[in-house]
Amino acid sequence: MAFDLVFFGGTGDLVWRKLMPALFQAYRHDTLPEGGRIIGVGRDDLSDEQYRQQIQSRFEQVEGDKRPNSEEFARFASLLCYVRMDLSKPESYAALAARLAERETDNVVMYLSTAPSLFTTVCEQLAANGLNTSKTRIVLEKPLGHDLASNRAINEAVGKVFKEQQIFRIDHYLGKPAVQNLFAMRFGNALFEPLWRREHIANIQITMSEELGVEKRGGFYETTGALRDMVQNHALQLLCAIAMEPPINAHADAIRDEKLKVLRALKRWTPETLSQHVVRGQYAAGNVDGQAVPAYRDEPGVSPTSTTETFVALRTEIANWRWAGVPFYIRTGKRMASREAHIEINFRSTPHEIFQSPVGQVNKLVIHLQPKDGLELHLFAQGQSKRGQGSGGQTLSPVHLDLDFDKRFGSERVGAYERLLLDVLDGRLNLFVRSDEQEEAWRWVEPILRHWAADPVGPRPYAAGTWGPSASSAMIARDGFCWSEEI
């Protein structure tokens, strides 16, 4: 399958740090279709060979086992070429059109790894130069807008020149192997689905924490914040994967129809729930791994009076038959105690105790997304009884079954961006987000944004290297639950 894959923003951070390494892994695994060409687009004045050298120098920063040796890179580099463009100038697009006209391909993928403000301009100019053909696919990186209105404007502009089945709105969390196994666990096995409902599940927690601060992205983060950066897209997509009904088949629209139903069933915000069920924070100075780190307001590019949130915790419910009354908790933040992303399904206690269960602990299923990738099932078991103790006084001990996907599948593992890029080349939309999903997610988070805009208090400070403001723990404690590290 001959293809041209065009990276707008081809000299940018995302391309060299994530996308090129992912394509190289596909090339190494022999899953990248033959007859491909990868075209970087940027404002720098580079030849094809200079672009290849730049990418090779960037590969030196890739983690060891994913780094090509010189021979491997020489073969991979033969796929790379470069086109100099100023995306804001219509005349620049003629150079890209000429490059693409050099050969016939089965499909052309335009990957917009640029500022979202350029999405509309790029799509319009692609159409003006006849580059929006039936074999063209367009990939849009997040954030797709900063609110519902801007999201709609981008989707409408892109929709004027591309059909919905040509548009791939990417959320790399959906490409993570653990998320794929979440779907497989739910819909490919009979074990958990009968328990996957309000009668058996007490609460569900989604945690996405980072030890890093905003690093060199202070200017970007000032206009984005944790709610837009993580909750509106990644967290809500994970929530949908957990809570959706079984689709009628594995086709893209069948899956996305069920996710949309979850988003529409999320309880709407009221003034009371906005005050009690949403916590925002901003990291102050502190210590991470024994090193002193600055406060968010002292980071480069950040206003010294900034009210941008670096932490969000919230509680919501899904108003449908399966999940009525089950609280879903989401939290995400920067400069937290550890880097991890996981989903924790906490089951209800036994209806009648025969044994003494460990205090404060319940059966739970933990789905690890990063840095570990796998499943843990936490159970109780009976160990050696103490001498003279009757059966009525026996205490159970916690045990867990641990499935580490990396150990189990090893070299068979496919990274998130590798999987998603291959899906784009193959035209599979299952792991990409439809426009109505995005709009519904924005509709749900917008009341939070409006509430914060009118709140003179601002985000609550928390010391870097901790698990966020204490109000986050108080929020979940009101329901009689706690975050996993507090047990």
Residues annotated as part of the active site = 234
Output the 3-class SS for the chain.
CCEEEEEECCCCHHHHHHHHHHHHHHHHCCCCCCCEEEEEEECCCCCHHHHHHHHHHHHCCCCHHHCCCHHHHHHHHCCEEEEECCCCCHHHHHHHHHHHCCCCCCEEEEEECCCHHHHHHHHHHHHHCCCCCCCEEEEECCCCCCCHHHHHHHHHHHHHHCCHHHEEECCHHHHCHHHHHHHHHHHCCCCCHHHCCCCCEEEEEEEEECCCCCCCCHHHHHCCHHHHHHHHHHHHHHHHHHHCCCCCCCCHHHHHHHHHHHHHHECCCCHHHHHHCEEEEEEECEEECCEEECCHHHCCCCCCCCCCCCEEEEEECECCCCCCCCCEEEEEECCECCCEEEEEEEECCCCCCCCECCCCCCCEEEEEEECCCEEEEEEEECCCCCCCCCHHHCECEEEEEEEEHHHHHHHHCCCHHHHHHHHHHHCCCCCCECHHHHHHHHHHHHHHHHHHHCCCCCCEEEECCECCCHHHHHHHHCCCCCCHHHC
473: nearest Cα among 459, 487, 457: 487
Residues 6+ apart with CB under 8 A from 359: none
**Entry field: residues in the chain:** 487
Residue 8: exposure state from Cβ atoms within 10 A (0-12, 13-18, ≥19):
buried
- The CB-side HSE value for 300 (13 A sphere, CA atoms) comes to 3
Residues 6+ apart with CB under 8 A from 232: 143, 441, 442, 445
Structure tokens at 85: 């463009």
Report the chain's terminal Cα–Cα distance, integer Å.
Answer: 53
